Structure 1
């Protein structure tokens, strides 16, 4: 099949999208990856880049100009969607490629897939990385400015999709509940396609890692607030991209707490370096507040990257993350609360951490990308054999 894999993020840094494109290419499909630069290095399928990724200011302005009107005029959602130059550029690319299927990553790409379906009869596979209609439901501003637009775009696209996949069992159930009549989406977890790190026993210093996008509603404030209570042998690393103002606020918070010497801020690393660099630590943190359905059912990339790196993991007691941690005995649970985080971290001794680190590698072997990839390729095999609509 000719498959357009479309994503409105930086392609080189979107691990799930790169795994998807590579898996479909290896399965014998003709793949065109469409999105923002930089382009991924060393891939053997075609890549088409869009104009520069919008600035944060342009993104916020776009929410007001293109999304807010849907509160009063729902039909405006699809019309105003095309005011974005990047989306019009992606439409031109897809019309030139004439895909037989569009792998639409997140709700923002669904109108493109609908256009290809209307023009060429393309099949739509909607890959819901997040629970779109709940992603920022903790924010009143987002509910007022964007929710109606997101619901309108996703609702139309998801009902026209030939298949829907998502990242966790909880989001799969929540989507089926939000859109009555929708078959339960298939689950393809965010498991890295990377060799497992070798086991490394805990040393004199115990490294604690958070990696990934740093922004509010990800437990970072509670993590920093817990740090003064940690035993002296623990050191924290925060690794990943952050808006300059937010990073400065975190650094100021650490300084005010008197723990600046115990925390390192590091930039993001390339996708192929994520697991090896994570393996330098001993404990991986994945602590989300239970502030939305999106958070409640999250199974983030970082959880599986920590497991592949052989880290003991500390996650929130949210259902999908907690199920993996408790089933495999590879970590502990802590609420998004400084006292709870400190109590959990201080509860680890070296023998327990070494045991959990070994169990993390066992869990990573059981939750391998090879297994998840089979779900993806089988789905496309069924689509390719199905009669044309």
Structure 2
């Protein structure tokens, strides 16, 4: 039988420089050899190529226009959406399209209607219940998701709690959970990058915060707690609205440090030079409350016990495998007490990391991704025969 040409598009409104989950998923799909082409469609950005081949069958396609600033931002996004609809529905007409956000789900549904595409909704969070989404925008998001999700052939979520919410809210039956974990088999060895870069003495314990420097992540409480713990150092690595506040604190507090983000492939290795990780997600929205943070898995892959806030799935993992200390609450006092506690039992807590990584390994996630695609036999793709791709 002649090999058919099959295309899988993954679409997300970013410039595709730090989308590590998306890259890992598409690498697994590539290894299955089910598609002759896999396109990762994003937004055009200054200094980045419009098309970028990243492996034999995977390429990034950055559609214009690039994001504009200020009041023109909404206009640029609307134009990008129109361009993406034209590209996906009428130019490329993929057999499979994976929508990695609610904002791109309309593109997937239109691709289903006009090109017969199979649609997978790969939500990176609880899309309608995110931090800061409220009022008319939230009402519109809820209406849009409810109207469109029934067109999806399968939905992927990032935690069991979020999966349960979607099943209960929309009556979904075809769903999976793919955790956002690094592609490592076991914790890597101890590094020295942060100590060397920041000139932190070997005897000083380093607490590392990875991720967005934004409200809802306990950052101000962390800063307040470490003011009272000069014997420890805390390092923030990320970007966001609180970045300048952290930099100001670093100028006045010798045990507070800020470093710029590294490439996704280098995160775990850099993190391994710390002693403990901090994951203080606050339940300020349902998306945050039900999260299973990717930073939690990055810390474990780096061999770090975790100082964790008491959101349900994170707390359950930390307690079940004994890989950290869960704070009693979210205040600076709670963080202070937990930091003192974790610092005295680091070696004991590190002993549970291997079992946690085995339970949530990327190998397991990869197998689940393959199971999702195996459900859709190539010959039963919608539009397969219509496009002249059937057996010769």
TM-score (normalizing by structure 2) = 0.85
Alignment of 1:14-33 (within 5 A): 14-28=19-33, 29=35, 30-33=37-40
CA distance in 2, matches of 1:380, 1:337: 44
Pair 1:55–1:336, CA change in 2 (3 A)? farther
Cα distance, 1:2 vs structure 2: 1.8
Cα distance, 1:384 vs structure 2: 2.7
Aligned with 1:355 (options 336, 345, 348): 348
CA distance in 1, matches of 2:61, 2:25: 16
Cα distance, 1:306 vs structure 2: 0.6
Q: Please tell me whether residue 46 in structure 1 is matched to residue 59 in structure 2.
A: yes
Aligned to 2:197: none
Q: Residues 306-354 of structure 1: CA distance to partner in whole angstroms, max 9, x if unpaired?
A: 110000011111111011101110001113211000100011345x202
Aligned with 1:10 (options 11, 15, 28): 15
SS of residue paired to 2:39: strand
Aligned with 1:135 (options 118, 126, 130): 130
8 Å Cα contact 2:213/2:239 also seen in 1: yes
8 Å Cα contact 1:170/1:297 also seen in 2: yes
CA distance in 2, matches of 1:251, 1:157: 43
Cα distance, 1:184 vs structure 2: 6.4
Cα distance, 1:134 vs structure 2: 0.7
Say which structure is richer in helix. 1
CA distance in 2, matches of 1:333, 1:104: 34
Alignment of 1:191-210 (within 5 A): 191-194=181-184, 196-200=186-190, 203-210=202-209
CA RMSD of aligned residues (A): 2.4
Cα distance, 1:34 vs structure 2: 0.6
Q: Please tell me whether residue 277 in structure 1 is matched to residue 270 in structure 2.
A: yes
Alignment of 1:131-170 (within 5 A): 131-136=126-131, 139=132, 142-170=133-161
8 Å Cα contact 2:65/2:79 also seen in 1: no
SS of residue paired to 1:264: strand
SS of residue paired to 1:102: strand
Q: Residues 221-265 of structure 1: CA distance to partner in whole angstroms, max 9, x if unpaired?
A: 1111111222x331111001224xx3222333566xx52x11111
Q: Please tell me whether residue 337 in structure 1 is matched to residue 335 in structure 2.
A: no
Aligned to 2:85: 91
How many correspondences in the alignment?
Answer: 358
Aligned with 2:232 (options 231, 234, 250): 234
Cα distance, 1:53 vs structure 2: 4.5
Cα distance, 1:83 vs structure 2: 6.6
Aligned to 2:41: 34
Cα distance, 1:290 vs structure 2: 1.8
Aligned with 2:104 (options 103, 106, 109): 109
